[in-house]
Amino acid sequence: MEIASNLHFQGSYSEDNEVQVVAFSLGQEEYAVDIMYVLEINRLLNITRVPRAEKHIEGVVNLRGNIIPIINLYTRFNINASENEEDKRIIVFQLDDMRVGIIVDQVSEVLRLSKNDIEETDKVYSAQNVDHIKGIAKVNNRLLLLLDLFKIMQ
């Protein structure tokens, strides 16, 4: 398991200084995560509420017999979710030996970003959720916030 995740890490920052990301939207904002951590993207499954859990835990789902916790970034980032339930997806990540999903409004595409286009956040961004953002990428006229998944897990 460990070896595999190391490989992922190397693979995601390939020698040509590029990183592949999955871009998605939360409310009006566009986010992206390193594709090597993405296990799969699903339609909204039946989410079971977990009482007494922290409020950003939306609940748990059954993914082929595995129980996967689902994190709600809307409450975490204070974003209003889109009304369109049809486009909503669950992105399931594999981080080390942990699996976790997040709910997003829409998954737009898979992008290749040059590392030169990524700016570190402390220079440009100072919102409350700056902790969860690894950087900001400029793609044409769009701004993509790169999520730091490990921070989100904490």
Q: Which residues neighbour 118 within 8 Å (Cβ) at sequence distance 6 or greater?
A: 19, 135, 136, 137, 146
Closest to another protein by CB, 52 vs 123, is: 52
Of the pair 36, 61, the CB lying nearest another protein is at: 61
Give the total of residues touching another protein (CB under 8 A): 22
Decide: is 56 part of the binding site for another protein (CB under 8 A): no
Sequence letter at residue 80:
N
Please give the residues from 111 up to 130 whose contact with another protein meets the rule CB under 8 A: none
**Cβ-proximal residues to 129 (8 Å cutoff; 6+ apart), any chain:** 76, 77, 78
Smallest gap, in angstroms, from Cβ of residue 149 to another protein?
12
| Shortest separation between residue 83's beta carbon and another protein, angstroms | 20
Instruction: Answer yes or no whether residue 153 interacts with another protein by CB under 8 A.
Output: yes
Instruction: Kindly tell me which of 47 and 136 has the beta carbon lying closer to another protein.
Output: 47
Other CB atoms within 10 A of residue 38 CB = 19
Residue 142 contacts by C-beta under 8 Å, 6 or more apart in sequence?
A: 30
Residue closer to another protein, measured from CB, 64 or 123: 64
Distance CA 114, CA 138 (A): 10
Is 55 among the residues that bind another protein (CB under 8 A)? no
Token couple for 95: 């981080």
Sequence-ordered alpha helix ranges (H) in 13-148: 73-77, 121-124
- Tell me: does residue 23 bind another protein (CB under 8 A): no
What residues line the site for another protein (CB under 8 A)? 46, 48-53, 57, 59-62, 64-69, 98-100, 153
